[in-house]
Amino acid sequence: MIRLILLLVIVFTNVTPPSAIIRDEGAATVIDPFITTQTAAMRPDRVADLTREPWDRYTMRVQLDPSGPRLSGDITVQLTNQTEAEFDTIWFHLYPNHPDFGGRLDVTSALIDGVPVPSRTLHGDTLIGLSTPQAIAPGQRTTVTMTFTARGPRNASQRIFGAYNLEAGVWSIASFYPMLARYIPGIGWDTRPIVARGDFTVSAIALYDVTIAAPADWQLVTSGSRLAYQTTGDGGQISRFVSGPQREFYLAALQGLVAASAEVDGTRVVSYVQPDDPAAAERSLAIATAALRAFNQRFGAYPYAELEVIQAALTQFYGMEYPGVVLIEQSLYRRDDRLLETTIAHEISHQWWYGLVGNDAQGEAWLDEGLASYSQILYYEMIGVPEQARAELDAFRAVYRRLRERGGDAPLATPPSGLSDGRYVPVVYAKGALFFHALRQRIGEEAFNAFLQGYVAAASYREIAGPDLLRAAEQACACELDDLFTDWVITANEVTIP
């Protein structure tokens, strides 16, 4: 995400998957229909990613009513206890209940393996814990079923989180469903209160199969790819979407926006903009395709079949990332400077830094935001605009210098909750980007490129912490980097600004 204060019953179509996804059960070979369906969301050369892990699986049916705006639905989550501990409670985030969302999400019934279960909530109803009928043993698979209702605000981006809001023809419905909390080995369920600084959502990889009923004159945009579409006799539509392995499922309903599309390396890229400036669709599409092409080359291939960019009323921040979808503040499309381009590039880089390589955004936000900020520099280098790459770097230097001059420096490992007094952006974004420039200078261009590629290859669909990044960098350079990591990440020792 880029904040403003930063300077810079259904009839399905037939689907032939690119390849059959199978599993062996003794002497028999069994086709997994759930996994096979998900192949529609993947580039053909990345279908094998679907079977890398026994991913948790979400199946949802959702009914949208833009007049509210409100929605209702049911959700089934199949999960496997992949820890060494028994589960007696399963926790889910209810993000719309956070005050910054300005909405409401209520679970109206809950069952585990078909048995109704009691629940309790924490932190202003932003977490719900479901008590299991019996302990879920390590390796055991279980099924949670819930019904839920949600409502959201309208025209409220000046006072709340604009990604959960209906405004300017965009009903952005981020994090609208009960989302399984992470279980952290050695610690337990992640039941921390949500800090309203930086990104809200911290979640693990899963597969999604979502059927949505909505008025036919609203265009649905989601994470993943549409598998089926049907109009109904009452002026409605029913669409089914499936995903690859991803960290959450984003949903938007658009009315009146225009679109432009292109293909990059096997991925369909679509830009949606407001109708008063249709040329903006082509302009933002050109930026998005350039960024995707550059990052595919520099980081490793984006694995999904679609990537979509939406002009939206965010107001309090410039951009926001979700799997396969990025939101860009509407006012940037009317500027004549580089800020629209920088913001789109930053948010698309988050498809790697947050999307593929996950981290705890509520604990170590620098891991994705710092590298996404440095990706702005890499983007301009790769498209042949070195003077803008230098300008981006100089802007980060200036922000960090001002932070140090007022005595506000902090270790990169400081969680967002510890970065009050306007220090979040200077530390996480500016100092974070400068750390990666210092790393690049230290290990050299060849090793830095090897680090980026190796980091993505080894950590895709995982969640990493700072020491994992350090090991990846040391492996790339065959050198020891403890002093660099200590000075920048662990402590606030005075460092040379690169």
Q: Cα angle at 58 between 98 and 134, to 5 degrees? A: 85
Asked if 371 contacts 345 with a C-beta cutoff of 8 angstroms, the reply is no
Please give the annotated binding residues for Zn(2+), written as ranges: 346, 350, 369
Q: Is the pLDDT of residue 25 over 70?
A: no
**What pLDDT is recorded for position 29?**
44
DSSP state of 99: G
Can you tell me the mean pLDDT for 408-424? Answer: 95
303 — pLDDT class (breaks 50, 70, 90):
very high
Helix, strand, or coil (residue 203) = coil
Catalytic residues: 347, 429
19 — pLDDT class (breaks 50, 70, 90):
very low
**What pLDDT is recorded for position 11?**
28
Q: Is the pLDDT of residue 84 over 80?
A: yes
Q: What is the pLDDT of residues 321-352, one digit of tens each?
A: 999 999 999 999 999 899 999 999 999 999 99
Q: Is the pLDDT of residue 28 over 80?
A: no
Q: How far is CA 91 from CA 88, 132, 194, 406, in A?
A: 10, 11, 14, 41
Q: Which carries the bigger pLDDT value, residue 198 or residue 254? A: 254
13 — pLDDT class (breaks 50, 70, 90):
very low
Please give the annotated binding residues, written as ranges: 346, 350, 369
φ/ψ (deg, to 5) at 115:
-105, 125
Name the helix (H) or strand (E) containing 143. Answer: strand 141-151
**What pLDDT is recorded for position 2?**
66
Query: Strand 141-151 and strand 170-173: pairing?
Result: unpaired
Asked if 161 contacts 172 with a C-beta cutoff of 8 angstroms, the reply is no
Q: Was domain 366-490 assigned CATH 1.10.390.10?
A: yes
Q: Which residue has the tokens 């989601």?
A: 222
**What pLDDT is recorded for position 3?**
55
Q: Is the pLDDT of residue 288 over 60?
A: yes
Please tell me the pTM assigned to this model.
0.94
415 — pLDDT class (breaks 50, 70, 90):
very high
Q: Which carries the bigger pLDDT value, residue 2 or residue 52? A: 52
In the chain, what are the domain boundaries? 65-152+176-204, 366-490
Q: Is the pLDDT of residue 374 over 70?
A: yes
**What pLDDT is recorded for position 31?**
54
Q: Is the pLDDT of residue 452 over 80?
A: yes
198 — pLDDT class (breaks 50, 70, 90):
confident
